[in-house]
Amino acid sequence: MVNIAHLSNRSVIAVTGADRVAFLNGLVSNDVAQAAHGRAVWAAMLSPQGRYFSDFFIFFDDARLLLDAPREAVPEIVKKLSRYKLRAAVSLTDVSDELAVYAVWDGAPPRVALTAPDPRLREAGFRLLSHEALTATADEAAYATHRLQLGLPDGPPDLEPDKTLLLEAGFDELNGVDWKKGCYMGQELTARTKYRGLVKRRLVPVMVNHPAPAPGAVIMAEGREVGTLRSASGGMALAMLRVDALALPLWVDEAAVTPKLPGWLELNS
């Protein structure tokens, strides 16, 4: 049976105005112009220093772009985007009362106008923005387990503002960075990280053999700190781990932690 889950932790921001594409393109890691009917783009906003600020899926809706973003981050996203508007012909509106966000996997999505395959990974399924309530066949915990098994982050706590680098979190392999589109805020550190092979930590899916501690719990190996646990569900979690510790016995409190590296993940060490 197809799984349909309403993602109540997501909200939608509408970006309108004649300069909407060029405006966003100067601020995010991916090519906004690639968003089209039936095609979404996954992108991140960075700090000027090149660290993660927030990420979202960009949907094309004729005269507007729609950002499927973490609900708690929406006020800060709107505030930060507004700061960079200057004289650009752009307007930003929280339209969460108009549109709800759904994830669909293990089957075809319902016929909703704003539907697109999850641009990160085919196995992830689909993202939907719907004006009408859809009948859910799965809950948010089931979706969390699904995405964790695939190694897909979902904003904080998986991604830490002002700390996480995009390449640590799989944005390169998961189609979250366009290396040819031109400059955007924070681009320099992202490019340097890639071309110098400086990725020493990776966000990876792990199995935890006891109820997972809270996000931020320290993971140990051979008596030293090698990472932290992030979000967890159904015995799966994401962990930010040192690459050189992935083959070691790992522990968080009394729980054993076992990396389950997905096929898409490329390690440089």
In the predicted structure, residue 268 carries a pLDDT above the cut 80:
no
If pLDDT is split at 50, 70 and 90, which confidence band does 198 have? Answer: confident
Supply the mean pLDDT for the chain. 95
Q: What residues does 58 pair with on adjacent strands?
A: 41, 67
> In angstroms, rounded to a whole number, what is the distance separating the alpha carbons of residues 144 and 51?
24
In the chain, what percentage of residues exceed pLDDT 70?
A: 99
- Count of all residues that appear for the chain in the document: 269
pLDDT at 213 (0 to 100):
85
pLDDT at 22 (0 to 100):
96
**Token pair listed for 260:** 């389950």
Instruction: Using the Cα atoms of residue 143, residue 101, residue 116 and residue 230 in order, give the sign of their dihedral.
Output: negative
User: Phi and psi (nearest 5°) for 194?
Assistant: -70, -50
Dihedral in degrees, nearest 10, Cα atoms 264, 265, 268, 269 = -130
How many alpha carbons lie under 13 Å from residue 88 in its C-beta half-sphere?
Answer: 22
Count Cβ atoms within 10 A of the Cβ of residue 142 and give its class: 0-12 exposed, 13-18 middle, 19 or more buried. Answer: middle
The answer to whether 204 and 232 have CB atoms below 8 angstroms apart is no
- Closest Cα to residue 239, out of 229, 253, 231, 247? 229
Q: How many CB atoms lie within 10 A of CB 203?
A: 22
In the predicted structure, residue 230 carries a pLDDT above the cut 60:
yes
CATH superfamily to which 3-150 belongs: Probable tRNA modification gtpase trme; domain 1 (3.30.1360.120)
pLDDT at 2 (0 to 100):
96
In the predicted structure, residue 158 carries a pLDDT above the cut 70:
yes
If pLDDT is split at 50, 70 and 90, which confidence band does 204 have? Answer: very high
In the predicted structure, residue 269 carries a pLDDT above the cut 80:
no
Residue 217's contacts (CB-CB under 8 Å, 6 or more residues apart) are 228, 229, 252, 253
In the predicted structure, residue 259 carries a pLDDT above the cut 60:
yes
**Token pair listed for 94:** 């929280």
pLDDT at 211 (0 to 100):
82
pLDDT at 137 (0 to 100):
97
In the predicted structure, residue 197 carries a pLDDT above the cut 90:
no
pLDDT at 225 (0 to 100):
97
**Lowest mean pLDDT segment, chosen from 154-168, 197-211, 228-242:** 197-211
Count Cβ atoms within 10 A of the Cβ of residue 159 and give its class: 0-12 exposed, 13-18 middle, 19 or more buried. Answer: buried
pLDDT digits (tens, 9 = 90+) for 62-105: 999 999 999 999 999 999 999 999 889 999 999 999 999 999 99
- Closest Cα to residue 59, out of 129, 130, 112? 129
User: Phi and psi (nearest 5°) for 245?
Assistant: -110, 0
CA-derived radius of gyration, the chain: 18
Report the pLDDT averaged over residues 198-225: 92
In the predicted structure, residue 266 carries a pLDDT above the cut 70:
yes
pLDDT at 267 (0 to 100):
85
Domain boundaries, the chain: 3-150, 166-259
CATH number of the domain located at residue range(s) 166-259 in this protein: 2.40.30.160
> In angstroms, rounded to a whole number, what is the distance separating the alpha carbons of residues 38 and 197?
34
pLDDT digits (tens, 9 = 90+) for 114-135: 999 999 999 999 999 999 999 9
pLDDT at 233 (0 to 100):
93
> In angstroms, rounded to a whole number, what is the distance separating the alpha carbons of residues 23 and 64?
13
> In angstroms, rounded to a whole number, what is the distance separating the alpha carbons of residues 74 and 61?
19
Report the pLDDT averaged over residues 175-204: 92
pLDDT at 69 (0 to 100):
98
User: Phi and psi (nearest 5°) for 58?
Assistant: -110, 120
**Token pair listed for 221:** 């190996």
